[in-house]
Amino acid sequence: MKKYWCGVVSREHIKRGEQGGFCQVCHGKKDPLARMSVGDGIVFYSPVLQFQGKDKCQSFTAIGTVVGDDAYQFAMTPTFVPFRRDVQYRKCKDAPIHPLLDKLSFTVGVTNWGYKFRFGHFEITEADFLLIEEAMQAGADIAHVPESMGAAVPPRKARQRDLLSDLG
C-alpha cells in the first residue's frame, strides 16, 4: 500500500538532494528512510533556507517518489556517513505553508503548527500530499483550491497567524 511522507530539510540541502536524486533526513538516520517503500510519495518542507541558518523559508520545496529498494550510506566526510534514499523528483515551485495551514490535516486548528515538523520525517495523508502537490504545481497560489480538497474549517484570525508565524 502506497504511503506519503513529509521530510524536513533546509532548502539548500534538499536542492542538493534534488540534483543528486536522493534524500537525507533526521541528520542522516536510517530508520526514517527504512520506513519508506518504493513508490511512496514524499514532499519536503524547508523551515529555513540554509542548514543552521536563521533566514526563514517556511515552504514546501521539493516533491517526488521513492525509488531504489533500500537506504544506503554515503561518506560525505570521513566522520559523517549518513544514510540516504533515492528519490525521483518532479519539477515544482516552492509553496509557502501559510496558505495551507487551514487545509492540511496535520496543521488545521493547531496553534503550534511548527511542532509537527520537529520530528524531521513523518507520514501524511494522501489528501494532504495531493493538496501540497497542487500548490507546488500552481506556484503556491492555492486560493483556487476547492474547499473540498482541504479540511472544512473556518479560517484562523489573521492576528493569530501572524503571532504563530515565528514558531514555524
Average pLDDT of every residue of the chain: 84
What are the two backbone dihedrals, phi and then psi, of residue 104, each rounded to the nearest 5 degrees?
A: -80, 135
pLDDT, tens digit, 9 for 90 and up, residues 93-110: 999 999 999 999 999 999
For domain 4-167, give the fold: ph1033 like fold (3.10.590)
Q: What does pTM read for this prediction?
A: 0.80
pLDDT in tens, 72-94: 999 989 999 999 999 999 999 99
Question: 54 - beta bridge partners?
Answer: none
Element (H, E) at 5: strand 4-8
pLDDT per residue over 115-166, tens digit each?
A: 999 999 999 999 999 999 999 998 544 444 444 434 333 333 332 333 333 3
Give the model's pLDDT for residue 163: 35
Q: In which band, very low, low, confident or very high, does the pLDDT at 30 lie, cut at 50, 70 and 90?
A: very high
